[in-house]
Amino acid sequence: MDAGYSNTIKKFFFFLLIALTPLISLAQEPADHPASAQHEEGKFRAGDMILHHVGDSPEWHFATIGHTHLTLPLPVILFVPGQGLDVFSSSRFHNETRVYGDYKLDEHDHITSLSGKKFYNFSITKNVASLMLSAILLIGIFFTVAGAYKKNHGRAPRGIQSFFEPIILFVRDDIARPNIGPKYQRYMPYLLTVFFFIWFNNLLGLMPGGANLTGNIAVTLILALITLLIVLFSSNKYYWQHIFATPGVPLWLLPIMIPVELIGIITKPFSLMVRLFANITAGHIIILSLFSLIFIAKSIAVGPVIVAFALFMNVLELLVAILQAYVFTMLSALYIGSAVEEHEHAHGDLGVDHDSVDAKHHH
């Protein structure tokens, strides 16, 4: 590993930890807060707890000790037309009414205006903060790997470079090259970025107090849209010919096939979006539901059994984390490959090269 890059990263995270430490607060949440409402009237409300942990929030909640919540307040940034920006800390909502000025934080952690005025919310929420953290991790790690490649050029990989090199080669040789073909190199930066972005955020979401970033459908929607745009802007004439004049299809059937093919363009990224969102969110809900059974059953006898099942599910989620990154990247490469592939339809369907077949018969 490049010592210069490594020292820089260590210093950065040290100063980041020092900067964040004063922001972490021990707050007594009001009774109507979802985290406190879980024990309202002596009843544990598993649904509120699960939704609170898988959803987004204007503050980052790490743990609950008794009635005290370890949270990281995040900046609330609201733009009011005609008035400008209104910026304050989410800790301002730590009161009985959860109201600060004209703004109220409702039970779903959404900010509303008491006077009904219109505003645009650009706040740094838990998911946004997690997104920034994962971006810093990705940039730091791969600048380190890039520096190691320059330093160890022509030599065996060392340190963090030796860990990531097989994964990078796997994305190149088993995902990009077989699914895209000769033009795979121009799409490698995107495929590597989306693979490691999804994988890292899946792992961060499994950590105690982690954010459910890849379980947020807005995030998976943007990833799917980027894949769709790359497919559309990379597509060649054969791709559109297959949609508007599918070879081997009778002319009278084209009015039916064309809408089906056009719908297929949209459903492919839609499946990418839903698959990643549903699998990651479902995993979080299952693990949280298992832990909730301990408080619902109120029996120490079931505790070890449920913890064992939850541990098994957590280990399984570690596998799902990289599996979902692989599936998203592989399908993205497959869709890109279908858009850039050079097709020859002069001799019929199914891509059969009849000239080569006839030549073999002559030999």
Q: Are strands 111-113 and 103-105 parallel, antiparallel or unpaired?
A: antiparallel
Q: What whole-number distance in Å separates Cα of residue 163 and Cα of residue 175?
A: 18
Q: What whole-number distance in Å separates Cα of residue 137 and Cα of residue 145?
A: 12
Per-residue confidence (pLDDT) for residue 42, from 0 to 100: 52
Q: What whole-number distance in Å separates Cα of residue 193 and Cα of residue 135?
A: 10
pLDDT per residue, tens digit, the chain (363 aa), is 445 545 554 444 444 444 444 444 444 444 445 554 454 445 777 777 787 788 888 888 877 776 677 888 899 999 999 888 999 888 888 888 889 888 998 888 888 899 888 999 999 999 999 999 999 999 999 998 888 888 877 777 778 888 899 999 999 999 999 999 888 999 999 999 999 999 999 999 888 888 889 999 999 999 999 999 999 998 888 877 777 777 777 777 778 888 888 888 889 899 999 999 999 998 888 888 888 888 787 777 777 888 888 888 888 999 999 999 999 999 999 999 888 887 654 444 434 444 443 444 444
Longest C-alpha distance within the chain, in Å? 88
Amino acid, single-letter form, for residue 337: G
Indicate the DSSP class of residue 236.
Answer: -
The CA-based dihedral angle spanning residues 304, 306, 307, 313, taken in that order and rounded to the nearest 10 degrees:
150
Scored b (16 or more CB within 10 A) or e, 223-232 reads: bbeebbebbe
Residue 200, burial from CB neighbour count under 10 angstroms (0-12, 13-18, 19+)? buried
The DSSP string of 149-217 is: HHHTTTS---THHHHHHHHHHHIIIIIIHHHH-TTGGGGHHHHHHHHHHHHHHHHHHHSTT---STT-H
Q: Cα 347 to the chain's mean position, in Å?
A: 43
Q: Bridge partners of 211?
A: none
Q: What whole-number distance in Å separates Cα of residue 43 and Cα of residue 41?
A: 6
